[in-house]
């Protein structure tokens, strides 16, 4: 399936029929997901959909079910470009099932720091690996007729103050690290759309950044397509139009109201030609997607395709990384475990399949690790489960033992026009739970008051947790027991449960009735709220003292003691690892409870295995206390089956780390410069400035600088174990017409069939301080039977050895000897070959 060729005459004909006002209207969304249409003028609408690991559809939460694919950090761990293409191809099917012809994906921003809240939906710390995988992902999407939207252009590496943070990045670091994955994917796969980032880069917002959009994207790279804003990420009228932002999303517009744009045109701030250029790009995208011939937007459907299930399971298992396997405790073969006991602890009954935010979906189904292992091992094994740790970020909503004004179970929500909830409410409703999430509905009450009468069944000093989009307070029997004095720091975090709420304790007497009241007002500042500026929203959580303080750890230890093998499932739920919030800690949540669980179980059972589901590197203070560790990332809806396949040996693990795992957060290259430095602005808001002081020395480039740095790495970039073993011999490299060809013979010397990822790095033989020692320039993945030998061939361009010279504004390759390193990770180098390279210089 291919895109339709654009007929310039057709586009100009349609454009000529539109008034200036109508052209302006085309430059912002009609609603949250669709572009503006003018059927009477022959202009159709097109629908978009999130996101990187599943086409969610129009409903942000609990909508029509969709397939949940592995997150991009897992996809990157496969080091398999064909897998990336297959995922993109399947996502195109999913997008069409939701009536969408544009998927808002892939995300290719770099893993600059392990605490980046959105790292899981990006690929890697390495721009080459990220760009290559993203390119094939885009090919898969667009070969199947759905437009890709590569995002977020550019340098969206943190969630803290993401709408307003000003990032100071040298042009060299931008070119070599943060723009490089975009450049690779755009030049190799030509996505039809690019989405700008929220953040400010060197003083200018990404959506109005002439350097990014005009000089680099459309100029030097020669890309032709549609540029859209991230949702709520437009920050100007004239500047964004002039810089090349074609489409403000979502609609209705905030910055491109017809009267405001007409004023800008009349004043000369924006030309009519610019309006035509922006509208032409919108129309050309519609033409490529065949919207003029077929303007229909089908209803959303849930199509649970068996071929997608199979693909998700296969790719999920391929991306799991075996980090430790002492004494070959893995694989857990059925015959080895016959009539034995296995403890399933932690998140064994929860499927951690995706992170939070625009990458979240309402999955068709989700297979838990317990379900996957029971299906794999059958009734030959006796399983016993214990949770073992409190991992909640927010207390569950207060819905039990409460009645509303009508004496029915639930709450009464009263809405008021003014910020003070006085007099008669403008509107009232009943709610089963104490929460109100506007979900971008265009209403603007001044305040909200939620009331219920609560009769506890237990006495105790029970716990509350509360948050609001604007200033809020909790009252019990008329007494203020907690007050949130400022706006929520991020609306997406609020929407997805990623806002950490302070816990408030209050003494209750069983059988006594208490009046509980929440008052919240609409935010009065635009800092950090973006699309929900001016809208009210709140949530109130509650937990009894007994449930909150229950000793889950002792229960898990007892289960582990009476088991032959203990498997602890650790990780991040979507409200701990989510868009809108950077990670709270390098250690697993909550309050080190999972770390304590692993250590205690490791002490109680000599055969302890840890399976960790996070999209990022995490601290592993218990590593020496357990026998085996598997990094499982977020594997999608088949999570439990994919994990069971690897644990039982049905699949030989072949995943390799796409990021470095530091021993401590202090060892991260960006430590001390993430998320940045706060200052007080003139408007009363806190400003955030962050300087990318590490320059090009991101991830392994930093750790490679010295033995001291290398010692700070727990697991290096590219690392991963197998149930078999491989040897590399006969390393060769040659240069012909600007292309380097590298060959190496790979032999499977172990007992199992398996896949080896051959990694090729290169750098100047005489390293200089301003350049990395070596950088990834190519890779290949080979499947081998026991005893089999194959030759891996990897080619790369001499231009990949170039560095950007800010003095000349050119890419420069220095003449001299270069060292080509072949290895099983950036650290485990199996052989080196020297090549001679002639210098060259070229334009960006």
Residue 321, SS3 per DSSP: strand
Number of domains in the chain: 4
User: What phi and psi, each to the nearest 5 degrees, are found at residue 208?
Assistant: -125, 30
Does any domain span residue 301? no
Residue 794 forms part of a structural domain: yes
Q: Phi and psi (nearest 5°) for 93?
A: -60, -45
123 close to 358: Cβ distance less than 8 angstroms: no
pTM: 0.95
| pLDDT for the residue numbered 493 | 73
Q: Which residues contact 256 (CB under 8 A, 6 or more apart)?
A: 24, 27, 28, 234, 237, 241, 248
402-403 and 447-454 as β-strands: parallel, antiparallel, unpaired? antiparallel
Same domain, yes or no: 742 and 624: no
Residue 363 phi, psi (nearest 5): -65, 150
The answer to whether residue 181 is domain-embedded is yes
Do 151 and 28 share a structural domain? yes
- Whether residue 619 is found in the same domain as residue 538: no
Measured in whole angstroms, the distance separating CA 213 from the mean position of its chain's CA atoms is 23
Peptide bond into 106 cis (omega under 30): yes
Is residue 29 a part of any domain in this protein? yes
In angstroms, rounded to a whole number, what is the distance separating the alpha carbons of residues 399 and 541?
9
Beta-carbon-side half-sphere exposure of residue 187 (alpha carbons within 13 Å): 16
Task: Answer with the one of 608, 624, 659 that is the final residue of a domain.
Answer: 659
Among residues 80, 126, 230, 490, the one annotated as catalytic is 230
Supply the pLDDT for residue 497.
74
Burial 119-139 (b: 16+ CB within 10 A, else e): bbbbbbbbbbbbbbbbbbbbb
Residues spanned by the domain of 214: 8-288
SS3 state of residue 791: strand
Identify the DSSP state of 298: P
Read off φ and ψ for residue 273, nearest 5 degrees: -60, -40
Q: Among 243, 260, 288, which residue terminates a domain?
A: 288
Cα three-residue angle 195-245-239, rounded to 5 degrees: 130
- Please indicate, yes or no, whether residues 103 and 238 belong to a single structural domain of this protein: yes
Q: What pLDDT does 528 receive?
A: 46
SS (H, E, C) 489-528: CCHHHHHCCCCCCCEEEEEECCCCCEEEEEEEECCCCCCC
Q: Is residue 564 one of the residues assigned to a domain?
A: yes
Q: Residue 802 belongs to a domain with what CATH number?
A: 2.60.40.10
Token code pair at residue 414:
């009263």
CATH of the domain at 383: 3.40.50.1700
Structure tokens at 102: 């544009």
Write out the two tokens for 37. Answer: 């249409």
Looking at the fold, whether 162 and 31 belong to one and the same domain comes out as yes
d(CA 747, CA 752): 12
**What CA–CA distance (Å, rounded) separates 394 from 410?**
20
Question: Which residue's entry shows tokens 């604007």?
Answer: 470
CATH code for the domain in which residue 528 is found: 2.60.120.260
Assess whether 492 and 561 both reside in one domain. no
Burial letters 789-820, b for 16+ CB under 10 A, else e: ebebebebebeebbbbeeeeeebebbeeebbb
CA torsion sign, 685 to 485 to 358 to 355? positive
Going by C-alpha positions, the residue among 182, 183, 107, 103 that lies closest to residue 144 is 103
Shared domain for 444 and 582, answered yes or no, is: no
Confirm whether 665 is domain-assigned.
no
In degrees rounded to 5, what are phi and psi of residue 183? -60, -45
734 and 788 in one domain?
A: yes
Residues 72 and 164 in one domain: yes
CATH number at residue 33: 3.20.20.300
- Residue 574 neighbours by CB under 8 Å, 6+ apart: 354, 355, 356, 357, 360, 496, 497, 498
Looking at the structure, do residues 94 and 204 belong to the same domain, yes or no?
yes
Residues contacting residue 718 through CB under 8 Å, at least 6 positions apart: 656, 657, 700, 757, 759, 776, 823, 824, 825, 826, 827, 828
- The answer to whether position 719 is within a domain reads no
The reported pLDDT for the residue numbered 682 is: 62
Residue 346: beta bridge partners? 569
CA nearest to 761, candidates 753, 747, 769, 772: 772
CB-based contacts of 501-505 (< 8 A; 24+ apart in sequence)? 501/394, 501/395, 501/465, 501/466, 501/467, 501/541, 502/465, 503/395, 503/463, 503/464, 503/465, 504/463, 504/464, 504/465, 504/466, 504/474, 505/461, 505/462, 505/463, 505/464, 505/545
Angle in degrees, CA 624, 626, 632, rounded to 5: 110
Q: Token digits for 639?
A: 């999570």
DSSP letter string over 410-449? SEEEEEESSSS--SS-SEEEEESSSEE--TT-S---SEEE
Sheet holding 166-168, edge to edge: 204-205, 200-201, 166-168, 686-691, 677-680
Cα dihedral 195, 199, 202, 207 in deg (nearest 10): 40
Distance from C-alpha of 364 to C-alpha of 462, rounded to nearest angstrom = 36
Distance CA 22, CA 371 (A): 55
Q: What is the pLDDT of residue 354?
A: 96
- pLDDT tens-place string over residues 698-722: 999 999 999 999 999 999 999 999 9
The yes-or-no answer on residue 230 being catalytic is yes
Which residue positions in the chain have pLDDT lower than 70? 1, 439-443, 490, 492, 525-532, 681-685
Residues 163 and 26 occupy one common structural domain:
yes
535 and 446 in a single domain? The answer is yes
Tell whether 415 is covered by a domain. Answer: yes
Is residue 725 within 8 Å of residue 749, measured between CB atoms?
yes
For residues 312 and 638, the answer to whether their CB atoms sit within 8 Å is yes
Q: Which of 28, 61, 51 is nearest to 575 (CA)?
A: 61
């Amino acid at each position: 399936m291919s895109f339709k060729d654009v007929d310039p005459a057709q586009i100009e004909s349609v454009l000529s029929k539109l008034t200036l006002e109508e052209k302006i209207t085309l430059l912002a969304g009609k609603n949250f997901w669709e572009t503006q249409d003018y059927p009477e003028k022959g202009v159709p609408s097109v629908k978009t959909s999130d996101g990187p690991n599943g086409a969610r559809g129009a409903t942000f939460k609990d909508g029509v079910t969709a397939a949940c694919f592995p997150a991009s950090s897992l996809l990157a761990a496969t080091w398999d470009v064909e897998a990336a293409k297959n995922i993109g191809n399947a996502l195109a099917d999913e997008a069409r099932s939701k009536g969408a012809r544009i998927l808002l994906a892939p995300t290719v921003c770099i893993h600059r720091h392990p605490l980046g809240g959105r790292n899981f939906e990006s690929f890697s710390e390495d721009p080459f690996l990220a760009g290559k995988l993203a390119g094939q992902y885009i090919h898969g999407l667009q070969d199947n007729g759905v437009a890709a939207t590569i995002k977020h252009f550019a340098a969206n590496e943190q969630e803290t103050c993401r709408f307003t943070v000003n990032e100071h990045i040298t042009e060299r670091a931008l070119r070599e690290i943060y723009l490089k994955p975009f450049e690779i994917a755009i030049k190799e796969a030509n996505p039809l759309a690019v989405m700008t980032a929220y953040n400010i880069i060197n003083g200018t917002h990404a959506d109005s950044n002439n350097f990014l959009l005009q000089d680099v994207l459309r100029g030097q790279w020669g890309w032709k397509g549609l540029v859209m804003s991230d949702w709520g990420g437009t920050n100007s009228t004239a500047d964004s139009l002039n810089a090349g932002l074609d489409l403000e999303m979502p609609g209705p517009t905030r910055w491109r109201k017809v009267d405001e744009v007409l004023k800008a045109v009349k004043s000369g701030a924006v030309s009519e030609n610019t309006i035509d250029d922006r509208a032409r790009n919108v129309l050309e995208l519609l033409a490529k997607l065949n919207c003029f011939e077929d303007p229909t937007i089908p209803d959303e459907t849930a199509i649970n395709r068996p071929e997608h299930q199979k693909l998700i399971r296969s790719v999920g298992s391929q991306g799991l990384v075996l980090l430790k396997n002492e004494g070959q405790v893995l694989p857990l073969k059925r015959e080895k475990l016959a009539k034995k006991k296995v403890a399933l602890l932690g998140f064994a009954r929860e499927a951690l399949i995706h992170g939070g935010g625009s990458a979240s979906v309402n999955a068709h189904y989700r297979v838990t690790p317990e379900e996957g292992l029971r299906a794999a091992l059958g009734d030959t094994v006796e399983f016993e489960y214990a949770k073992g740790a409190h991992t909640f970020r927010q207390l569950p909503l207060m819905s039990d033992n409460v009645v509303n004004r009508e004496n029915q179970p639930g709450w009464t929500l009263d809405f008021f026009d003014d910020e003070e909830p006085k007099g008669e409410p403008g509107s009232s409703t009943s709610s089963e739970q104490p929460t109100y999430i506007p979900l971008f509905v265009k209403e603007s009450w001044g305040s909200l008051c939620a009331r219920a009468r609560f009769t506890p069944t237990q006495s105790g000093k029970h716990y509350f947790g509360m948050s609001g989009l604007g200033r809020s307070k909790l009252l019990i029997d008329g007494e203020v027991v907690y007050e949130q004095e400022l706006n929520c720091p991020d609306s997406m975090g609020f929407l997805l449960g990623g806002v950490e709420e302070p816990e408030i304790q209050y003494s209750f007497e069983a059988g006594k009735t208490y009046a509980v009241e929440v008052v919240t007002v609409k935010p009065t500042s635009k800092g950090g709220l973006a699309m929900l500026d001016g809208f009210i929203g709140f949530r109130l959580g509650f937990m009894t003292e007994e449930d909150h303080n229950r000793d889950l750890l002792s229960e898990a230890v007892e289960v582990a003691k009476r088991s032959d093998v203990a498997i602890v499932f650790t990780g991040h739920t979507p409200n701990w690892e989510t868009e809108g919030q950077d990670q709270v800690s390098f250690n697993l949540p909550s309050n080190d409870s999972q770390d304590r669980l692993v250590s205690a179980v490791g002490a109680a059972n000599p055969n302890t295995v840890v399976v960790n589901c996070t999209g990022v590197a995490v601290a592993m203070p218990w590593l020496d206390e357990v026998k085996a560790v598997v990094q499982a990332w977020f594997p999608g809806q088949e999570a439990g089956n994919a994990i069971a396949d690897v644990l039982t040996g049905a699949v030989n693990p072949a995943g390799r780390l796409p990021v470095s795992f530091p021993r401590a957060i202090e060892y991260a290259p960006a430590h001390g410069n993430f998320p940045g430095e706060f200052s007080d602005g003139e408007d009363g808001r806190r400003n955030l400035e962050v300087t990318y002081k590490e320059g090009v020395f991101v991830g392994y480039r930093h750790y490679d600088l010295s033995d001291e740095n290398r010692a700070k790495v727990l697991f290096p970039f590219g690392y991963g174990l197998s149930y078999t073993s491989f040897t590399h011999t006969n390393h060769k490299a040659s240069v012909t017409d600007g292309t380097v060809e590298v060959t190496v013979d790979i032999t499977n010397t172990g007992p199992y069939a398996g896949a080896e990822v051959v990694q090729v790095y290169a750098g100047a033989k005489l390293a200089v301080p301003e350049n990395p020692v070596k950088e990834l320039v190519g890779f290949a993945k080979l499947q081998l039977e026991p005893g089999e030998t194959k030759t891996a061939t990897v080619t790369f361009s001499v231009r990949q050895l170039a560095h950007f010279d800010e003095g000349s504004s050119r890419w420069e390759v220095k003449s001299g000897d270069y060292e080509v390193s072949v290895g099983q990770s950036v650290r485990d180098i199996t052989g080196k070959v020297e090549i001679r390279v002639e210098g060259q210089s070229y334009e960006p």
